[in-house]
Amino acid sequence: MKTKRILFILAAAVFLISGIISVYLLFLRPKPEKVRITSDGETLYVLEPAREEDRLITVEYEGRENVIEIKDGRVHMLKADCPDHICIETGWLDNGLPIICLPNRLVIEYEDGRTDAAAG
């Protein structure tokens, strides 16, 4: 009877540890570091915001302008002369959602976002 109990405790421990590891892999995985800026399907920049100096990037498309700001290792759309301003309202890229300016055909996204969804 004693060995049965030890086996049970061992099994429970293994189960618990593998659970902790899965949670770690799912939620605590570091974010992809590289950000890709695409205009009309063409990659303009691949940046590592954490290593960039604070600066502004201006992108033109058919005479319209978008100003992307890199500040404190983060990226957002500072100004845009598109009619809807959805890209500005998206805010910082922190949450992993791409910033898309549909009228000006501009996309700011994490580079990993484009690879196949095997990693979930």
CA distance 93 to 108: 8
Contacts of 86 (CB under 8 A, 6+ apart): 100, 101, 102
Picking from 94, 93, 98, the residue whose alpha carbon sits closest to that of residue 113 is 98
Cα–Cα distances in angstroms (integers) from residue 48 to residues 36, 44, 98, in the given order = 9, 14, 15
Considering only 37, 75, 80, 93, the residue that binds Zn ion (CB under 5 A) is: 80
* Residue 87 binds to Zn ion (criterion: CB under 5 A): yes
Number of residues forming the site for Zn ion (CB under 5 A): 4
Task: Tell me the HSE value of 25 on the side-chain side, using a 13 A CA sphere.
Answer: 8
* Residue 99 binds to Zn ion (criterion: CB under 5 A): no
* Residue 82 binds to Zn ion (criterion: CB under 5 A): yes
Residues 43 to 62: which contact Zn ion by CB under 5 A?
none
Least Å distance, CB 44 to Zn ion, is 16
Tokens of 12: 């429970």
* Residue 68 binds to Zn ion (criterion: CB under 5 A): no
Of the candidate spans 26-34, 36-44, 54-62, 83-91, the one that interacts with Zn ion by CB under 5 A turns out to be 83-91
Considering only 99, 101, 107, 108, the residue that binds Zn ion (CB under 5 A) is: 101
Binding site for Zn ion (CB under 5 A): 80, 82, 87, 101
